[in-house]
Structure 1
Amino acid sequence: MRRRIKPIVVYLFFFLVIGGLIFSDHQHHRQVVSQAEKTEKTTQTSETEKNKVVEERIVSMTLEEKVGQLFWARVPSSHQLEDLQSYHFGGYLLFGRDFQEQTLEDMKALTDRYQAASKIPLLIGSDEEGGTVTRISSILETPFQSPLELYQKGGMEAIRSDTRQKAELLKSVGINAGLFPVADIASNPSAFIYDRTIGQDAQTTASYVGQVVTELQKNKVGSTLKHFPGYGDNGDSHTAIIQDNRSLYELRQADFLPFQAGIDAGADSVLVSHNILTKIDTVPSSISPKINEILRKELNFKGVIMTDDLDMAGLADFVNQDEAAFQVILAGNDLILGSSYQTQIPYLLKKVSSGELTEERIDESVRRILSWKYDLGILGTSQ
């Protein structure tokens, strides 16, 4: 004779099972929430420490040191160490000539000397895009390939692997910023910028930019998105003033997407071109408050904004070098790239004395520059 299971036993069994599942799910939820809270707390603590370090440094700096931080200077052909100490640069940029007849060991010793000579740790950068723009290739057996070539041969995995190799190499010689990726889109293979792009549409370029930024972050090498607001199929601003007649709507539909992807991935800096966007402003983008506002407010970029090289004809033929430096800062940018610092720095100091440029405005940029240095692990800790 079969025994019948009493209904109350069945109900009790299901109650225990369901209760156990609910309890288990609740415990898992608590663990997830707890981990998220710990992560948020760690992030807040890190930000608090960074802000403390940066503010302590700013308070201790002279006006001359602050203005010097706004300059990422080409390494001069002579008096490199003396100029570091006299002008208090934010950083040094290495070009092809700086690598000629040097070994990797030589370059590491050189960047170490630069850092030792500078009171404030330096951004040391070099354009290492690959392909037609690479600086360190003169001392490598095999130069870095362009993103376009890499993507055609091996897709995004080849891009990621290449980025890791670049980051490791740059760090090994004391270079903490690579001035890439190129976030431009060009549809015409004969366009000036095409060979430096990945050669794909906006969505693929956006994916490329985001992944490069992520890999650089992992290796604590500074990233720079360039050339905002996007070169398109326009001419070369190294040699002429370039006028771009595209509308803001057109830029939003395509050219802004890779920059937004890089910003969302945590890009450290954005380099602004000298191209004149005629539908937006009448001046080169590098001295345009309107372009700066788009980058800050529409794309929500909070990091360092730098100019393309001020010696390029796209700006130099539009305004003289000293006034250009002043207009760059007035527009809201942070870092000035170029080699005319010997007259530009005194010019900015005069603008402060005359009241045309405030120390508070300079502090805004210095704060962003020092925050970048902290993120790269070169600024140090609070006292």
Structure 2
Amino acid sequence: MNKEVRSMKLKWIKRMSVGAAIAVLTAFFVVGCGSTEKQNNGSLSTDSSQDISEVSTKQEVLEKSEVPKKSADELKREKVEQYLADMTTEEKVAQLFVITPEAITDVQTVTAAGNATRKALEKYPVGGMVYMKANLVSEDQTKKLLENTKTMYKEIADLPIFLTVDEEGGTVARIAGNDGFSIENVGSMNLIGKSGDTDKAYEVGVTIGTYLSDLGFNVDFAPVADVLTNSENQIVAKRSFGSDSELVTNMVLAEMKGFEETGILSCVKHFPGHGCTIGDTHEGYAYTDKTREELQQEELVPFQEACANGVPFVMVAHISAPNVIGDNTPSSLSPVMITDILRNEWNYDGIVITDALNMGAIVQNYSSADAAVKALQAGADMLLMPENFQEAYQGVLDALENGTLTQEQIDCSVRRILNVKLSMQ
């Protein structure tokens, strides 16, 4: 009973306290809202207004201080989603392609970016351009070509464009050794590998990255991450750092670091590893009979480590691996290789790009439209150099229309592309 009495008293006191507070506030506002004459005769109204103003200001400051600041990653994600929401389906599909300038301009050999390029990019704001030796005549011409392309693309799409090139050093170099450039070739990667010195691989990345960046490029389809386990393989040969997976891994990571420090986005190739294959994908099927377990011991190691270290691009080759995939489907069109291994097992969330889709292994077996759709179904984000760009582009739009591809699939790929592009700004 005593407890009940005390409880009732406490409740009564609280109610009285609240009631008293209300009475005081009421009196306060009556005085504050009185006649002009009363306000002029005393300072209570002025003082009260000042108090209210100070309380309001303090409350606003408190509310602002309580709002958590967004991280840079959160802000970028929001920006990516805003860009994505503002894009048409056609613009999204265009972002999936990296093509030669000739593919959309109908100019035989493009060495300048003018009205033809602008009109083409307005119609097809592709994700990137890849340049061959014929496009690159001299240092001044290349700088102007790339700068004009970058500027007009920014005006059209309000985004950076991937300006890409194959510049490995050695036998694959569009610029070094080109008569129009006073740039020395860094040499073949097998010689770098034989030195056993990762500093030399890093210097290769810095050297190539520096002159590419100076010219205006932002993506290099290098380094080669293939482990040369088949000594008779002539496709990789001197392009590989060597036959030891640990050595190749260390060299690849060092070269990636050199590229990163010079502002060049690197792309490891040719996943799942061209060093063990028989045949040439430029001409037709190339294949490996290794199992997944065997590939994991050697060929896959450099790629997995590159993915773990945040390589921006992985290029998937047209290699057939029937003992992994189950049939002769090229790796570039295989969900097992791209979705199962790269995405689900390795948790890679960078950009997966196909090897050139105008190579024999593809064009002899698939139309441009079919190859593009199958690559995207497999999990690829970007399509490099289809034999017929317009056919491939329309094929993807048709696949979206008939449900073969979903909008969600396209959006996932475009998000990855935008994530990298917005990091470049």
Q: Same-fold call, TM > 0.5?
A: yes
Identity %: 29
CA displacement at 1:117 relative to structure 2: 2.3
Question: How is 1:82-93 mapped onto 2 (pairs within 5 angstroms)?
Answer: 82-93=119-130
CA displacement at 1:351 relative to structure 2: 1.5
CA displacement at 1:374 relative to structure 2: 2.0
Secondary structure of the equivalent of 2:274?
A: coil
Corresponding position: 1:196 with 2:239? yes
Distance in 2, Cα, partners of 1:147 & 1:270: 19
CA displacement at 1:189 relative to structure 2: 4.1
Query: Which residue is equivalent to 2:161?
Result: 122
| Residue segments in structure 2 that go unaligned for 5+ positions in a row | 1-67, 108-115
Secondary structure of the equivalent of 1:148?
A: helix
Contact residue 245 and residue 277 of structure 1 kept, 8 A:
yes
Distance in 2, Cα, partners of 1:181 & 1:153: 17
Secondary structure of the equivalent of 1:184?
A: coil
Distance in 1, Cα, partners of 2:410 & 2:283: 30
Distance in 2, Cα, partners of 1:196 & 1:59: 42
Distance in 1, Cα, partners of 2:195 & 2:296: 30
CA displacement at 1:144 relative to structure 2: 2.8
Contact residue 167 and residue 173 of structure 2 kept, 8 A:
yes
Q: Name which of 163, 178, 192 aligns with 1:150.
A: 192
Contact residue 128 and residue 134 of structure 1 kept, 8 A:
yes
| Residue segments in structure 1 that go unaligned for 5+ positions in a row | 1-40, 379-383
CA displacement at 1:147 relative to structure 2: 1.5
Corresponding position: 1:334 with 2:407? no
CA displacement at 1:259 relative to structure 2: 0.6
CA displacement at 1:154 relative to structure 2: 7.4
Distance in 2, Cα, partners of 1:222 & 1:107: 19
Aligned length: 334
Q: Name which of 350, 355, 359 aligns with 2:407.
A: 359
Query: Which residue is equivalent to 1:238?
Result: 282
CA displacement at 1:141 relative to structure 2: 4.2
Question: How is 1:93-242 mapped onto 2 (pairs within 5 angstroms)?
Answer: 93-99=130-136, 102-118=137-153, 119=157, 120-137=159-176, 138=178, 139-152=181-194, 155-191=197-233, 192-234=235-277, 235-242=279-286
CA displacement at 1:107 relative to structure 2: 1.0
Distance in 2, Cα, partners of 1:61 & 1:303: 21
Contact residue 202 and residue 257 of structure 2 kept, 8 A:
no
Residue type of the alignment partner of 1:306: I
Residue type of the alignment partner of 2:264: V
Contact residue 143 and residue 216 of structure 2 kept, 8 A:
yes
Distance in 2, Cα, partners of 1:239 & 1:177: 26
Cα deviation per residue 1:278-297 (whole Å; 9 max; x = unaligned)?
11222111110111121112
Residue type of the alignment partner of 1:333: A
Distance in 1, Cα, partners of 2:399 & 2:324: 27
Query: Which residue is equivalent to 2:301?
Result: 257
Contact residue 203 and residue 255 of structure 2 kept, 8 A:
no
Q: Which has the larger radius of gyration?
A: 2
Corresponding position: 1:56 with 2:100? no
Secondary structure of the equivalent of 1:136?
A: coil
Query: Which residue is equivalent to 1:284?
Result: 330
Distance in 2, Cα, partners of 1:157 & 1:69: 36
Residue type of the alignment partner of 2:130: L
Higher relative contact order (CA 8 A, sep 6+): 1
| CA RMSD in angstroms, aligned pairs only | 1.8
Cα deviation per residue 1:81-117 (whole Å; 9 max; x = unaligned)?
3322211100000111111xx2222211111111122
Query: Which residue is equivalent to 1:6?
Result: none
Q: Name which of 92, 96, 110 aligns with 1:70.
A: 96
Contact residue 204 and residue 258 of structure 2 kept, 8 A:
no
Contact residue 213 and residue 265 of structure 1 kept, 8 A:
no
Q: Name which of 63, 72, 85 aligns with 1:46.
A: 72
What is the TM-score when the length of structure 2 is the normalising length? 0.75
